[in-house]
Each structure stands twice: as structure tokens, then as C-alpha cells.
Chains A and B, each alone.
Chain A
Amino acid sequence: MAKILVVGYGNPLRGDDSFGHRAVEQLKQEVKGREVEFVDCQQLTPELAEKVSNAELVLFVDADMDGVAGSIHSRRIEATAGKNSDSLVHHLDPCALLGLSHTLYGRAPESMLMTVTGECFGYGTQLSTEVSKALPGVVHHMKELIQEKCGDAVHA
């Protein structure tokens, strides 16, 4: 049975950086099923490595700063060996987390990183207009990926 892990991350008090949390929140409403597990967190930490290693597909969701506000980026990512060793103590990027998962638990599952370019990262809990507009598209894309993997095992 496919097992999918959805990880939304970012600072929920920093405007568009909360995008990952919002996406997870929305997706939870639309996708039900034991095959999908949701995690929302401020940072990716080494403690997630074991959970990641047990999944068949991991979907990471975050905000980025590269591009036009509200533009959606989706790409397949691979495990990398950590370059910045000491940062493993506190936080990781998704590729380093996959690398850690592989080193420690022997598996780095298929993974996608979905990001939306943010506009406003100041204090606040609201998404900017452009990033809000991108939310349904990202959630829809994740639903497609999940259904591709699980078929009818998940439902709204």
C-alpha cells in the first residue's frame, strides 16, 4: 500500500513563509485516507528522517524567493550528502533530509518539492494576494500526485 508523506514547512508568523502550513491545512480537508500522513513544521529537522524513510512518496511544500510572486514551482528532488554538517543539528533542506534518511535508514524515497514564490515575509499570519491565489493550484497538483500513487484509496 502506498504511503505518502506531505510536509509543509516555514514560519507561520512570517506572511508568505506560512504557505507550506496553509497548503497542508487545505489538503487535509480534501484528502482523507490512512495512506497519507501530514506534517507541518517550522523547520525540517533530523527527527523527520525516520518518517521520511518509511514513505513511498514525500511531498515537500514551502515558499521560495525565486521568481515572480505567486509563481508555482514543482520539481523532483534527490538526496544529497550534507555539506553543512553543523546545520544538521537544527534544520535541513529537503535534499539533505533525504540524504540523512538514506544514510541512517537506508532509504531516500521518491520526493517532490513544491514551492510558491512569496512576496511578503514580514511579521503576520496572512498570505499576500498573489500567493493566496496560488494555493488552490498547488493543492490540486498535490492531490493529483497523491491519487496517481494511491488511486481510489484516498478520497475527499
Chain B
Amino acid sequence: MPTLTIEPVTRIEGHAKITLKQDAHGEVTDAHFHVTQVRGFEKFCEGRPFTEMPALMARICGICPVSHLIASAKACDAILAVHIPEAAEKLRRIMHLAQFVQSHALSFFHLSSPDLLLGMDCDPAKRNILGILAANPEMARDGIRLRKFGQEIIELLGGKRIHPGWIVPGGVSEPLTVERRDKILRELPEAKETTLRTLKWFKGTMEKFRPEIRTFANFPSLFMALANPQGALALYKGWMRFVDADGNIVADHIDGADYQHYIGEAVESDSYLKSTYFKPMGYPEGMYRVGPLARLNMCKHIGTPLADEEFAEYRELERHSVWSSFYYHYARLIELLFAVERIELLLNDPEILSKHVRAFAGPNNYEGVGGAEAPRGTLIHHYKIDEDGLITSANLVIATGHNNRAINKGVLQVAKHFVKGSKIQEGMLNRVEAVVRAFDPCLSCSTHAAGQMALHIELMEEDGTVIDVMRRH
């Protein structure tokens, strides 16, 4: 049986390959998404003092260090058994939202917009950020500006853009100054305007992508995200909820500390990425999706005026939950708008300048679980410590792991639809990569250049004879 290998998958965070199997008629019969790198963070933090964990965990990822900081600090809050000051929670929320802005801007503008603006079949030599610069410099400027806006907030609060250490067990290390607050507020109108302009552009272009909308991981599945009593988008705090493809709640009010009763973690021999599943349904039937699509399927409203208007329009896409993973892009932009609006609301709260931003305590529990929504989906950190406060075990459940089964299924769906025959065409394979990009996976949870990586594809007969080769340099 011929096997196609796409390696590496480009314009994603981290290193992966895809293998496609074809039958004698050139029809794709099987597909796998393999993550080919291993990190080992869970292992090498054993023996470290738990108070070091937020700063250590931020090093996992250069794109979403703040999500790891927050999940880690919340796990440590649980070990301390403290309620952090309200101002500290609001400040953490601002930094968290700023990270959504910069991460979603990276995903949409830098990684996916070449496909969306220039087309899936565009010459790969042009289908990149340089192509965007040439075709629509305003869009390129918008992407850079929005990402910068998010990064600058992180820097203003945390002292640096990447791996800030400001979020600590018990709260944050320093209060916000008036000058810094006002500086962020001055930048907000432009960020809002840019996001609205991008949403308008995206909605206007969706019609061109009917085949992709129909086939990009467009199937019923469970969805999981944090939920709150107001039914609004819950990014920082909430309980875990699972809904089915029709939007019916199948499990609700799950405390983060009980995640292991509902979430199982499976390991496949061909990938370093764990696959999580909804335990009551078993593996692999318990496949579910997380991230922007799941979050918008979960909430009844977003919680800010402009984002709610956009959400009302978004909900008209389907009667049931939105299934097509192509709409991750759309959901991502609505979340981006929410983040900008919510940052403004939080900064205008008088309590945000409070000097009381940290609670102090020693360890009062031997175990703590912390969770939050990361840009790509629900993130869980679970630590156990000994009586000296040293980590004895750490388990990290990362968003891309939740989506792993759905990504695999989506790759198969797209490949079956677009990849046919013994002659490989670039556009076919780009769509297989693009469905992966829609999920915005962060495979390494670390900084990796998405740089110019060679693509080497071989189409082989059953006996291993190479019948077609494609190289991209």
C-alpha cells in the first residue's frame, strides 16, 4: 500500500509529520499525524521546590508561557490553600488575555493568513508571510501590530515579553502603576479597530472556502471547555464541562482536581503527543475537541458588547454546535475581540491599582491542580509535593493533546477528499497541513522557529518502490 509522508508539517509550532496510506486506486485509506519531538518537562521538574514551578513551567512555551504560568500558579495556590487577592486575579486575567491577543494574532496572521488570503493552491513560494506583505501589506501590518499590542501588555506587567516571572504562587509579584495602565489604555482603540477590520475581512472571504469548510475536521464530536454560572466565555476560571455534538451537556461542574475521573490519557506508538479522551466513553470513542471552537460551542454569550454581536452572527452558522474545524479561525477572531474588550474593562476597574496583590502562606496541601483555558484549549497542571515542598510528580495536560484524536481524524477526512491518484499536487497536501493549522497546535509547547523547513514527500508502492517524490526547500 503506498504511503505518503509529509515531513515536516510547516507553519505550525513544533515538529510533526503526517503519513497517508493509499490503496491501489489512489484513494486515501488511513492517515496519521505524528509528533516527532519529546520534551520531558514532567520528568525533569521532579525534585524542584514547588515555588519554582511557575517560572520553570513558563519555559515550556515561547508562545503561551502565560497560560503555563497561570495554570502552574493556580496549582501552587491550591498547595498553599490560599485565596489570592481580587486585584491579583484581575491582573493575572489581563496578562492572560494579552497572551490570547498575541497568540491568536500569530496563528491567524502569521501562520494561517497565507492560505486564507492567497488561496490553498497558490504557489508555495508565494504562500507565506512575504506573499502577504506583497498582496496585502495592511493585513501584514495589522498582524504585527496586534501581536505587538499583546506582547507589550505582557512586558509592561511582567517585565518581559517571553517567560515573564510576575505571576507567582499567591498572586502577582508587583502591583500595576497608573502610568502602565494608561499606556495600555492608549493603545486599546487601535487594537479593537484592527480586530474588527480583520473579522470583517474574514467573514467576507469565507464563501471562497466552502470545500474546506465542508471537509476540515467537519464531524460530530464532544467538546470540552471551562464554563461559568453566567454562561459567558470562561478563560481564566470555571469548572470543566463536556457537551456533545448537539450541544447537550454530558458532564458538568467538574472540578479541576477531579479531571482524572473524566479525562484519560492514551499513548500511541507513533507519536510523542499523548491523546486524551473522555473516560466514560473510552478510547478512542471518547474523542473531544478543545480551543476556540469548543469554547464558543460551550458558552451562551461571550461577555463583552462587540464580541457578543459577532457571536450572535457566528451562531447562525449551524443549528447545532459548530462542527467544522475551519471555523476555529472565526472563533479565534471573536475571542481576540473579546480579549481586547475585556482588557479595557479590567483596566478601568479602580481596584486594578490596588497594592494588595499577593497572599503568603507555606504549603498546606501535598497536592494541587491548576487549570485555565490556553489559546489552544484547556490546560491542566497537577503537582504533588513531599513534606519539604519538593515536587514528587507533575502531570501536564496540554491543549494540543486534547485535540490529537480530532486532528488525526481531520487529517484523514481532508486527505480522503483532496488527495487522490498517484500524482501528488502541492495544493492537495497544503490542505492536509492547513487542517492541522486550523487547530493551531503547539506541539512542543516551546519556542520553535516555524522556519524554512524542507518538505520531502515520497509516494511508494507496496514493495517500497518510490513512484513520486516532491521536495520543498
Which A residues contact B (CB, under 8 angstroms)? 42, 46-47, 49-50, 81-82, 84-91, 100, 103-105
Contacts and interface: CB of A to CB of B under 8 A. Distances in A.
Contact of B129 (A42, A81, A89, A105): A89
Which secondary structure characterizes the binding site on chain A? helix
A46 B140 CA distance: 10
A42 B162 contact: yes
Nearest to B126: A85
Given A87-B449, A90-B450, A90-B451, A82 B145 contact: no
Contacts of B110: 88-89
B184 to A, nearest CB: 16
Given A85-B128, A104-B137, A49 B144 contact: yes
Contacts of B141: 104-105
Contacts of B453: 86
Nearest to A47: B148
A88 B130 CA distance: 8
Given A84-B451, A84-B452, A104-B137, A89 B106 contact: yes
A104 B451 CA distance: 20
Contacts of A86: 10-11, 128-129, 449-453
Interface in B6-34: 10-11
Contacts of B140: 103-104
Interface of B (DSSP majority class): helix
A50 B129 CA distance: 17
A75 to B, nearest CB: 25
B347 interface: no
Contacts of A87: 449, 451-452
B131 interface: yes
Interface residues of B, number: 26
A51 B387 CA distance: 51
A87 B130 CA distance: 10
A90 B131 CA distance: 16
A81 B133 CA distance: 11
A44 B10 CA distance: 21
B195 interface: no
A90 B12 CA distance: 12
Given A46-B144, A89-B11, 5 more contacts: A50-B144, A85-B129, A86-B129, A91-B449, A104-B144
A47 B137 contact: no
B111 interface: yes
8 smallest A-B Cβ distances: which pairs? A85-B128, A47-B148, A85-B130, A87-B451, A84-B452, A89-B110, A88-B129, A90-B449
B47 to A, nearest CB: 19
Contacts of A82: 130
B151 A47 contact: yes
A17 to B, nearest CB: 15
Contacts of B11: 86, 89
A81 B128 CA distance: 14
A21 to B, nearest CB: 12
Nearest to B102: A47
A85 to B, nearest CB: 4
